[in-house]
Structure 1
Amino acid sequence: MSNKTYNDLLCNTSELIVEATQADEAVYEAGSAERSTFQPLLSELRIRYTVLLSRLDAVYDQLLQPQKRLIVKRLLEACLGRLLEIKHELVELYLSDYTYDDDEALVRLGVTPHEAEPCIPQYFVREREEEVERRHNFITDTLRKLGYEPPRAKPLVLTEQQAVIIIQSHERARQGRLRGQFMKEIRLLKEKGRDQKGEMSSSAATAIQRVWRGFIARRDTRKRKKEEQLLIGMALPAYSESKAVARSEEVKQIRRNLQKEREIKFQDALVKIEEQLRAQHGVKINERIADELRRWISEYYERTGKLPEFPSEEGGGSRAMFSRQGTGIDSDLSKTSPVSSKDSKKSKESKDKKNNKAEENKNKDEADDLKNFKCTSSAFLQDMVNANEEYEDIWKYRDDEIIQHEEYDKDMIERDKMLKIEQEIRNIVDEMMRNELELLQAAFDRDRAHKGKKAKKPQKKVRRGGKKSKKKKEKDLTPDRTTESLFEELVTNGIIRPYPFVKIDDFIGDKSYAASEWRGQGREPSPCLGDIRHLVKEYCILPLGSETVRASAPIVRSVLISGPSGSGKKMLVHAICSEVGAMLFDLTPANIVGKYPGKTGLIMLIHLVMKVSRLLQPSVIWMDDAEKPFVKKIPKTDKTDPKRLKKDLVKIMKGICPEDRVLFVGTCRTPWEAEQKLLFQCYSKVIQIPRADYGSISLMWQTQLHKAGALSSKLELSCLSRVCDSYTIGTLLSALDSVLTTKRRLQLRVRALTAQEVAIQLSSLEPVYAEQDAAAESWWLKTPMERRRQRVLQRLLELEQENEERAAAGKSEELKERFAPLRGKKTPRTPCETYIPYKKNLQSEKSYYMTLQNINFMTVNIHSITENIWSSYMG
């Protein structure tokens, strides 16, 4: 595509950013509200930022203008960081790591579920291609020196009987071919003789023509039917590389090469223009700033009679001195007046009243806290707004030769460099002025004969980075060694290991499309494999790819991935490393057996892993069989010493700082065998790979069979997917590889693949049994996030029951108030109340009031009858 296409796409994206940021700011203005209010708003925002992420990634990947790409990168990283913030807000809102797409938001924004899944920005690896390739080559060369060779196909080892059978079959085939050739020659001789005699009958020719024409007609019918199915989308075309897609990739690569050329020119221009500006304006700027400062100091001395205090560089320097106001005298308003005893008594009484009210409204406030929600402040929203405004002010409405040719803007470089040069020169002049002021102050003190007074010392440097960190620096055990030597040592010992390049999208799985409806009904949906892929992107891949995002976004230090054998745990680890170009450190108990022995060796191992992982960021520290260090009883047959790292794992997790692009990933099959408290202390997030559902299995079969060319109308995918219900995706792929041998692939054109062949192969493989599913489900209920959600739900139910009991108690109070005239002393008593001598003999107060009520009712009836008789008599 052309430059105009990407510029127009960026303009449209800028308008979408304005809409998204306005909706985002409206969410913050809402403050605290019910959770049901924020659910659709945050879901819609997440989808908006996901669409923006894919658009900005496409623009940044193909845009040529280097200065405009800097703004686009700022927008891209701010969008990515804001997307992760919204993800964590949704987690707190739903109290679940799985945040499903809202159907109404998807329909409203016109986005498909596939588009609502975040993409991986291409610059994560593309801008580090040389570095990643250099590290990979270093690992390969080191292993080759040690005698390690990449795995090759294993040679076929046959027994003597198998070899004899193969030789016999080949000999029979050779004899059959010779016999067939001999019979073919005899048949040709006979046909030649019949042609010469003219004995061929017309009936034989007609029969041959009829068969041939029928074959042609059936073949054309099948061809037309297949074309019609392809047209309406009922069948997939043959798997092949599209020429249009290949051409598009070629064009993109050409533009990437042009990007590198423009970037090199831009960097050269930065250096040359800065040198020219320093040579032309450096001396003038120095003299101007010095004259301004000396004039200001003299004016200040004439006005106040003393020399000014010059701020430090961290305090703002001369710029802060120009803008400083006030005399430094503390105002009287800042001094607090003493509190009188009466006021203190009143405050105590008011505090007591407040405490009483707080106790009364405790349940109500607790219910409000559980039902209400408030979004936390964002570290990326304002940066996105500022970057978008800068783009609109500078680039959006420009139409000149610079935009058309996508070259750098010299005027912008000069303005930026002038500001930089002026600030550097100002710092130099400020330091010179501090020295001059010290000399002037000393001379001034001597002239005034102030011998007792000493010149004021320059201000101490003020640390602007917040409070000083109390964290002690770790002692460097290898201060004299280079990074390359440490890298080579870990590669030699097998701690750093190569991994296959795998994309996260190769983890095939469909998403849960009914999850939002289930949550609307108050039920917690079960995730699908597509939701697991989505979660790994948000927790593992996206935060590791960018330094800016990692430093400011909510941090995830460690992730535990659990699932049955063959569910794709190692594939996810390799995909995380591949998508961000990370180094893989293997701390599996079986891998560190006999390496760095003893206590000192263990300390050195942990030190090397943490040091090198920070030096070679991004890094992934992986531990397979992550439950073994926390198992209560180790089998005697296990010689790997899995508890060796038990006490140090928590230290490793805590040692990962927000600015470190390091992630600890653990994979396990039976996490319920470990001590849960220690396990969850190490891993902040837990991802459990569920059993493959029907949609994911069907999608996997359709994708893999289409690539293999084995997809046909005779293969019933629905039936095959139902049969494979209790198997993992890895098990199904291994069964498919066993079925589709080289010989069977050659026979696909003649004999189509059937579901029976795959089912027969699956019968010899291990499924996931119901007991394992039940154990995994019961363990999932003990995870921290699930337990927290259950506690909140239980507390809400208790508060609802308390409210119902309080309402019932209120009704009983109303009944008592209705009977208050009968039992109060100040209310007038009826004549019948006087003649109840057996009040104390009643069984309860309730029976007393019931009796009293009946007597009063009888009294009222007698009075009414008497009045009726008297009125009829008088009438």
Structure 2
Amino acid sequence: MSNKTYNDLICETSELIGETTQTDEVVFVTGAAERSVFQPLLSELRIRYTVLLCRLDTIYDQLLQPQKRIIVRRLLEACLGRLLEIKHDLVELYLSDYTYDDDEALQKLQVTPQEAEPCIPQYFIREREQELEDRRKFIIDTLTKLGHETSKPPSLILTEQQAILIIQSHERARQGRLRGQFMKEIRLLKEKGRDQKGEMSATAATAIQRVWRGFITRRMTKRRKREEQLLIGMELPPYTESQAIKKAEKVKESRRTLQNKLEIEYHEALVRIEKRLHSQHKAKISERIGDELRRWILEYYERTNRLPEFPSEEAGGSRTMFSRQGTGVESELSKSSPVSSKESKKSKESKDKKSSKAEDNKIKDEMEDLQNYKCTSSAFLQDIISANEEFEDIWKYKDDDYEHHEKYYKDIIESDKMVKIEQEIRNNVDEMMRSELELLQAAYDRDRSHKGKKAKKPQKKVKRGGKKSKKKKEKDLTPDRTTESLFEELVANGIIRPYPIVKIDDYIGEKNFVGSELRSQGREPTPCLGDIRQLIKEYCILPLGSEHVRTNAPQIRSVLITGPSGSGKKMLIHAICSEVGAMLFDLTPANIVGKYPGKSGLIMLIHLVMKVSRLLQPSVIWMDDAEKPFVKKIPKTDKTDPKRLKKDLVKIIKGICPEDRVLFIGTSRIPWEAEQKLLFQCYSKVIQIPRADYGSISLMWRTKLHKAGALSQRLDVSCLSRVSDSYTIGSLLSVLDDVLTTKRRLQLRIRALTAQEIAVQLSFRDPVYAEHDVAAEMWWSKTPLERRRQKVLQRLEELQQENEEKALK
């Protein structure tokens, strides 16, 4: 697409942002209201911000103008942060982690359920490509030096016996081909002896013609039928990479290259223009500010007969002197008095209410408290509004033909730099004026002492900082070591490990399309795999990608992912790390056994992990078999010492600050075997991967078989999805790999794949048994959020019954 396309797109997006922020402000104007009022409103806002996120990501990825990209980045991060805030409001509103899209909101905004799922901004990875490549290369080189990896893949290294078997099979195949060629020549010699003249009778000719015409007609009919089915979408076309998509990606890549070039030019211009403005205006600005300050000090002295106190740099410097009126004592009292009066009024009112309340009013108030809700204040909404207003004021009607369309604007740089230069010069002048005022005050005090007046003792400057935080700084156990040496040590010990690059969208699964309707009927829907994918994005990926969002959005320090073996827990861990370019720290009990022994070694391990994870943000600290540290009784066969980190896990998780882009993730197959109280102390969010539903399994079979070229009319995908209902997606993928061998792939053109072949391989796999589902369901009912939801529902029912009984009396 052209530059004009993206400029028009951002103007349209700016109008949409204005509409969305107007709707969003209604949430805070409403205040506390019934939950039914906020449910459709927040659902609509979530979809609106999701659409805006996708649009702004596309614009930021392809826009060339470097100054305009800065404000687009502000809008992108602010919309992302507001989306996460709305997500947490919806969680508190429904008391469930899963948010299902309202059909009315989707229809109103003309958005499909797939488009209502948040996208991952591309700049998370694209702006750090070189850094990530260097890290991955360093890890691989370190492991190669230590002998953990070989230069060749393990599959290419054969034993002598394997090599002999391969040679024998190829020799037998060669002999078979030769024998077939000999038999063909013998058959041709026999047929040649039957008719030496090579003439055929008329009856034979017409028979051949009839057979051939029938074959041609059937082939044409089959082709027309296939073309018709492709046209109406009843059959998928062969899986091939589209040339149009390839061409579009090349265009995008060329724009990114040009974008980087313009970005470099812009940063060079910033330095060059700042130097020029500094040399031209430094003396004039310094003289002007100095004259203004001296004149103001003189006027102040003539009016009050004393010298003013010069504010510190933290208090605003000389800028605050011109706006200051009086001593500020009265203003402080006036500020404090209304608060105290309000507090006293509130206390009196609360006492009066408590004394006058009856039992009926108590029940009514409790019901209102349970049914009402008030949204939390937003840290991003005002930023969205101000950034959008700035865009409309400066950029919306800017001439795009300025300096070959997309170069930087000098006037904007000069105006921004002049503000910065003036502030720097003002700080220098303020420092000079402070020293002058001290000299004047000293001379003034000497004069007064000569006249017999006692000089005032200089008052000690009191720092007006806030209370000192009681939190002690952690002692650095490795102050003299570099980040590279710590990084190499953790790689050598297997704590930092490489991971395969996986996209979160590769986690195939459909969403629950009737979840909103079921909730309106008072039933809690069961999430699908698509809902799990969306939840991983909202809780794990999107907050880690941006430092600004992570600092100001609701914080999630730890997440527990549970599910049966093969449900995709490790894939999700790899996808989280891949999407944000995070470092993966493996604290699985089996991985740290024998490493850093003793109490001092454990302290060093925790220190290294926390220090390096902060230095190399974003980071993911992963623990597989997360239930093992909290198991009541460890089996004698388990030699991994899983309780080694039991006491320190809470300390590790609580040590993650809001500004740290660090996330602790645990994965578990059997979380019900742990002590639940200790488990839920560690993990603030719990994500349980449910059994794969029919829609997700069917989508997986169609997608994978289509890519493999094995999807045909003879293969009943619906029947196959029903048969594989009780298996995990990981088991089904391993079955497909076993069925579609290299030999079988070559035979697909002449012999289509059937469901029977897959069903035979499925019979050798273990399904997810009903006992596991029952145990998982029982455990889920004991999770903190689910218990809280059940208590609220139970209390509402009790209050309704009490009201009905009193009404009958």
Identify the residue that residue 185 of structure 2 maps to in structure 1: 185
Q: Secondary structure of the equivalent of 2:402?
A: helix
Identify the residue that residue 458 of structure 2 maps to in structure 1: 456
CA-CA distance at 1:455 after TM superposition: 6.0
RMSD: 2.3
Identify the residue that residue 362 of structure 2 maps to in structure 1: 362
- Counterpart CA distance in 2 for 1:120 and 1:79 is 13
Q: Rate the CA distance shift 1:349–1:530 in 2: closer, same or farther, 3 A.
A: closer
C-alpha offsets along residues 119-163 of structure 1, whole Å, 9 cap, x if unaligned?
A: 000000101111111111111111111012255326566979x97
CA-CA distance at 1:207 after TM superposition: 2.6
Identify the residue that residue 604 of structure 2 maps to in structure 1: 604
- Counterpart CA distance in 2 for 1:141 and 1:163 is 34
Q: Rate the CA distance shift 1:88–1:467 in 2: closer, same or farther, 3 A.
A: farther
CA-CA distance at 1:180 after TM superposition: 2.9
Q: Rate the CA distance shift 1:348–1:775 in 2: closer, same or farther, 3 A.
A: closer
Q: Secondary structure of the equivalent of 1:551?
A: helix
Amino acid at match of 2:353: K
Identify the residue that residue 110 of structure 1 maps to in structure 2: 110
CA-CA distance at 1:354 after TM superposition: 2.8
C-alpha offsets along residues 628-673 of structure 1, whole Å, 9 cap, x if unaligned?
A: 0000000000000000000000001100000000000000000000
Q: Rate the CA distance shift 1:346–1:285 in 2: closer, same or farther, 3 A.
A: closer
CA-CA distance at 1:404 after TM superposition: 5.7
Larger displacement relative to structure 2 (327-336 or 184-193):
327-336
- Counterpart CA distance in 1 for 2:192 and 2:85 is 85
- Counterpart CA distance in 2 for 1:793 and 1:652 is 35
- Counterpart CA distance in 2 for 1:676 and 1:347 is 41
- Counterpart CA distance in 2 for 1:497 and 1:167 is 38
Q: Rate the CA distance shift 1:333–1:622 in 2: closer, same or farther, 3 A.
A: closer
Q: Secondary structure of the equivalent of 2:666?
A: strand
Q: Secondary structure of the equivalent of 2:565?
A: coil
CA-CA distance at 1:254 after TM superposition: 0.3
Amino acid at match of 2:394: I
Identify the residue that residue 786 of structure 1 maps to in structure 2: 786
Amino acid at match of 2:525: P
CA-CA distance at 1:211 after TM superposition: 2.2
C-alpha offsets along residues 529-586 of structure 1, whole Å, 9 cap, x if unaligned?
A: 0000000000000000000000000000000000000000000000000000000000
Identify the residue that residue 745 of structure 1 maps to in structure 2: 745
Q: Secondary structure of the equivalent of 1:559?
A: strand
1:581 maps onto 2:576 in alignment? no
Identify the residue that residue 841 of structure 1 maps to in structure 2: none
CA-CA distance at 1:367 after TM superposition: 0.8
CA-CA distance at 1:178 after TM superposition: 3.1
Q: Rate the CA distance shift 1:215–1:328 in 2: closer, same or farther, 3 A.
A: closer
Amino acid at match of 1:520: S
1:724 maps onto 2:724 in alignment? yes
Identify the residue that residue 837 of structure 1 maps to in structure 2: none
1:68-87 mapped onto 2 (5 Å cutoff): 68-87=68-87
Q: Rate the CA distance shift 1:663–1:198 in 2: closer, same or farther, 3 A.
A: closer
CA-CA distance at 1:171 after TM superposition: 6.1
Identify the residue that residue 565 of structure 2 maps to in structure 1: 565
- Counterpart CA distance in 2 for 1:131 and 1:179 is 59
Q: Rate the CA distance shift 1:347–1:427 in 2: closer, same or farther, 3 A.
A: closer
Larger displacement relative to structure 2 (129-138 or 667-676):
129-138
Identify the residue that residue 56 of structure 2 maps to in structure 1: 56
CA-CA distance at 1:358 after TM superposition: 3.7
CA contact (8 A) 1:511 1:531 kept: yes
Larger displacement relative to structure 2 (297-306 or 529-538):
297-306
- Counterpart CA distance in 1 for 2:468 and 2:314 is 15
1:7 maps onto 2:7 in alignment? yes
1:435 maps onto 2:449 in alignment? no
Q: Secondary structure of the equivalent of 1:623?
A: strand
Larger displacement relative to structure 2 (298-307 or 1-10):
298-307
Amino acid at match of 1:19: E
CA contact (8 A) 1:315 1:461 kept: no
Q: Secondary structure of the equivalent of 1:480?
A: coil
Identify the residue that residue 825 of structure 1 maps to in structure 2: none
1:311-350 mapped onto 2 (5 Å cutoff): 311-328=311-328, 330=330
Amino acid at match of 1:633: K
- Counterpart CA distance in 2 for 1:543 and 1:154 is 41
- Counterpart CA distance in 2 for 1:349 and 1:496 is 60
- Counterpart CA distance in 1 for 2:275 and 2:25 is 44
Q: Secondary structure of the equivalent of 1:317?
A: coil
1:346-745 mapped onto 2 (5 Å cutoff): 353-358=352-357, 360=359, 361-402=361-402, 405-449=405-449, 452-454=454-456, 456=458, 459-463=461-465, 467-745=467-745
Q: Rate the CA distance shift 1:452–1:536 in 2: closer, same or farther, 3 A.
A: same
1:221-370 mapped onto 2 (5 Å cutoff): 221-328=221-328, 330=330, 353-358=352-357, 360=359, 361-370=361-370
Q: Rate the CA distance shift 1:445–1:778 in 2: closer, same or farther, 3 A.
A: same
Larger displacement relative to structure 2 (25-34 or 619-628):
25-34
C-alpha offsets along residues 276-332 of structure 1, whole Å, 9 cap, x if unaligned?
A: 001100111111111111111111111211111100011111010111002456489
- Counterpart CA distance in 2 for 1:103 and 1:687 is 25
- Counterpart CA distance in 1 for 2:555 and 2:336 is 43
CA-CA distance at 1:214 after TM superposition: 1.9
Amino acid at match of 2:354: N
CA-CA distance at 1:440 after TM superposition: 0.4
CA contact (8 A) 1:314 1:462 kept: no
CA contact (8 A) 1:194 1:200 kept: no
Q: Rate the CA distance shift 1:214–1:458 in 2: closer, same or farther, 3 A.
A: farther
The number of equivalent residue pairs is 799
CA contact (8 A) 1:541 1:579 kept: yes
CA-CA distance at 1:802 after TM superposition: 1.2
Superposition TM-score, scaled by structure 1 size: 0.88
Amino acid at match of 1:256: R
Q: Secondary structure of the equivalent of 2:663?
A: strand
- Counterpart CA distance in 2 for 1:46 and 1:220 is 51
Superposition TM-score, scaled by structure 2 size: 0.95
Amino acid at match of 1:524: E
Q: Rate the CA distance shift 1:184–1:221 in 2: closer, same or farther, 3 A.
A: same
Amino acid at match of 1:542: L
Identify the residue that residue 152 of structure 1 maps to in structure 2: 154
Identify the residue that residue 764 of structure 1 maps to in structure 2: 764
Q: Secondary structure of the equivalent of 2:155?
A: coil
- Counterpart CA distance in 1 for 2:635 and 2:334 is 74
1:32-43 mapped onto 2 (5 Å cutoff): 32-43=32-43
Q: Secondary structure of the equivalent of 2:596?
A: coil
Instruction: Could you tell me which runs of 5 or more consecutive residues in structure 1 were left unpaired when the two chains were aligned.
Output: 340-344, 810-875
CA contact (8 A) 1:587 1:622 kept: yes
Identify the residue that residue 97 of structure 1 maps to in structure 2: 97
Instruction: Could you tell me which runs of 5 or more consecutive residues in structure 2 were left unpaired when the two chains were aligned.
Output: none
Identity between Structure 1 and Structure 2 (%) = 76
Q: Secondary structure of the equivalent of 1:807?
A: helix
- Counterpart CA distance in 2 for 1:92 and 1:537 is 18
- Counterpart CA distance in 1 for 2:173 and 2:571 is 44
- Counterpart CA distance in 1 for 2:228 and 2:562 is 45
CA contact (8 A) 1:504 1:575 kept: yes
Identify the residue that residue 858 of structure 1 maps to in structure 2: none
Amino acid at match of 1:354: K
- Counterpart CA distance in 2 for 1:329 and 1:588 is 60
- Which protein has the larger Cα radius of gyration, Structure 1 or Structure 2? 1
Q: Secondary structure of the equivalent of 2:686?
A: strand
CA contact (8 A) 1:124 1:581 kept: yes
Identify the residue that residue 845 of structure 1 maps to in structure 2: none
CA-CA distance at 1:453 after TM superposition: 2.6
C-alpha offsets along residues 320-353 of structure 1, whole Å, 9 cap, x if unaligned?
A: 011100245648978989x9xxxxx999998764
